[in-house]
Amino acid sequence: MSLSEQQAASLSAETVVVAAGRPPRERDEPVNPPLVLSSTYFGTGPLGDGDRGYGRYSNPTWDPFEEALGQLEGAELPGLLYASGLAAVSSALSLVPAGGVLVMPSHSYAGSLVMATELAAKGFLELRTVDIADTDAVLAQLAPADGRPASMLWLESPTNPMLGVADIRALTAAAHQAGAVVVTDNTFSTPLVQQPLTLGSDVVLHSVTKYLSGHSDVVLGALVTSDAGLRASLLHHRTIHGGIAGPFEAWLALRGLRTLALRVERSQASAAVLAERLSTHPRVGSIRFPGLASDPGHERAKSQMKGFGSVLCIEMAPVAGVSGSGESLSGADAADRMIRALKLWLPATSLGGVESLIERRRRHAAEPASVPDNLVRLSVGIENVEDLWADLEQALAGLGR
């Protein structure tokens, strides 16, 4: 590969996303890695985990992305690609021993919560959900005076969709003291904004579907760790449970990764502008964005992130009298009507693509009831920020004064 670990460590992340995971610098080598479509590999002799062998064990098209992601997260080992973010969640949760205790944010990504809840219902593990922003409450669940210590601490920061910010350093230190493994879902931040391994986490998780691939045309997940033992367990789980990445998706993800730094820079800057403007709009009841000085997670985010990401949430205010009809709307109805009036923002789930997406989260049956029904999540893309604002403004204006 084109970049050694030492080289990657001496370059800025904006360069690594472009330079990592390329074929050798030798005459007539392609500058981009090829897409390899083969379910099996020529060979004789012993075969085990980590060997090329067969298409479920490995694929040369995974390697450059896995190497680049490992370098970006500051890991000593390449990452592991999975069929989806949730396939990576499944593999990470397999590290909890039978009957072990899992401490998880009550506002984790809904799919992660559903999986953990179902595993707990079957008696495979004990689930303790916590407000991840409340450090003392999490500490109490990691090592309760009258209960068993945790086997795994799950972190997501900022959380999806509530944008709660965890004190990653303090929580990982306490989890390690309790003997727990720490997994951090870093999907919202990307390694350019936050590096959980350097803050103490053992494993980092990504829904590669989101910012890393960045074009809403791929579903993929990844795990990264510097711990060889953990990586071997995860690789074995991936091989045996079979949640592997398609080679074409892996190829597209690396293509998307090349522009990650530019996309993150633009979307973060636009999110900050839109958050400021939305925070004073009369139709917006409240806003969560760690970049706002008034946000409860602001100082903590500043201490562990380089920027504040580009997802924000608003709670729509109820409307007493819509102009024209005079009808009144609940906050949830106002949110639905505003979203339907948008012409540029795409009403769709997901986040982290080049296009700006907007969604009322409770339209998902699996979304926890503790997420307010008038909560709208905005994923800011890379369009011109004034065009994005003009569209929001006209849709909000349609609700009346």
Q: Where in the sequence numbering do the catalytic residues fall?
A: 56, 109, 185, 210
- CA distance linking residue 252 with residue 213, whole number of Å: 7
Q: In this complex, which beta carbon is closest to ligand PLP, that of residue 210 or of residue 300?
A: 210
Q: Binding to ligand PLP (CB under 6 A): which residues in 151-190?
A: 156, 160, 185, 187-188
SS3 assignment, position 190: helix
Establish if 16 lies at the interface with ligand PLP (CB under 6 A).
no
CA distances (Å), 182 to each of 41, 84, 223, 305, in order? 36, 20, 12, 18
Establish if 84 lies at the interface with ligand PLP (CB under 6 A).
yes
Beta-bridged to residue 223, according to DSSP, are 80, 205
Supply the minimum distance, in Å, between the C-beta of residue 112 and ligand PLP. Answer: 6
Q: Binding to ligand PLP (CB under 6 A): which residues in 210-239?
A: 210, 219, 221
- Size (the chain), residues: 401
Joined together, the tokens standing for residue 239 give 């091989």
SS3 assignment, position 183: strand
What are φ and ψ of residue 193, in 5° steps?
Answer: -105, -30
Residue facing ligand PLP at closest CB distance:
85
The residue within the footprint of ligand PLP, chosen from 3, 68, 77, 86 (CB under 6 A), is 86
Q: Is the dihedral of CA 77, 80, 85, 90 positive or negative?
A: negative
Q: In this complex, which beta carbon is closest to ligand PLP, that of residue 111 or of residue 368?
A: 111
CB atoms within 10 A of CB 6: 8
Supply the minimum distance, in Å, between the C-beta of residue 310 and ligand PLP. Answer: 13
Joined together, the tokens standing for residue 357 give 């997406």
Supply the minimum distance, in Å, between the C-beta of residue 4 and ligand PLP. Answer: 30
Establish if 111 lies at the interface with ligand PLP (CB under 6 A).
yes
Select the span of 43-51, 202-210, 239-247, 294-302 touching ligand PLP (CB under 6 A): 202-210
Q: In this complex, which beta carbon is closest to ligand PLP, that of residue 210 or of residue 231?
A: 210
Q: In this complex, which beta carbon is closest to ligand PLP, that of residue 2 or of residue 225?
A: 225
SS3 assignment, position 135: helix
- CA distance linking residue 138 with residue 112, whole number of Å: 18
Residues lying near ligand PLP in the complex (CB under 6 A) are found at 84-86, 109, 111-112, 156, 160, 185, 187-188, 207, 209-210, 219, 221
